């Protein structure tokens, strides 16, 4: 079986929800949870590796990455979307 190597730096947001920590990347729309910050980071790396192994095994790497905004660079290289800002926006609901 042909090995495919992929290296990417993913933006990962880690936030607290109650007593849990959530690690999330919009680049893959992938998240995981841990009891501690470090556990959430570790589980995220594991989940991302499983995610990539699955899309490679299924032969859907091009479809899945394209749908998530990744760009093909060369014959086998991909780059994730670049996020250029983060902000809080106030929303008012009037009923």
Helices (H), the chain: 37-57, 61-67
Q: What is the distance of C-alpha 73 from the center of its chain?
A: 19
- pLDDT-based confidence at 7, cuts 50/70/90? confident
Task: Answer whether residue 3 shows pLDDT above 80.
Answer: no
Total-model pTM: 0.79
In the 8-state DSSP scheme, what is residue 72?
E
The predicted-structure confidence for 26-72, as pLDDT tens digits, reads as follows 999 999 999 999 999 999 999 999 999 999 899 999 999 999 999 98
pLDDT confidence of 4, banded at 50, 70, 90?
Answer: low
Percent of the chain past pLDDT 70, that is, above it, reads: 95
Report d(CA 16, CA 55) in Å as an integer.
29
Q: What is the pLDDT of residue 37?
A: 97
């Amino acid at each position: 079986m042909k090995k495919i190597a992929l290296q990417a730096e993913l933006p990962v947001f880690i936030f607290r929800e109650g007593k849990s920590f959530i690690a999330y990347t919009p680049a893959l729309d992938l998240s995981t949870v841990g009891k501690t910050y470090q556990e959430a980071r570790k589980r995220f790396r594991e989940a991302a590796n499983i995610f990539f192994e699955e899309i490679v095994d299924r032969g859907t790497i091009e479809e899945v990455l394209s749908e998530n905004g990744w760009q093909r660079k060369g014959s086998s290289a991909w780059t994730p979307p670049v996020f250029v800002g983060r902000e809080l926006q106030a929303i008012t609901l009037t009923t």
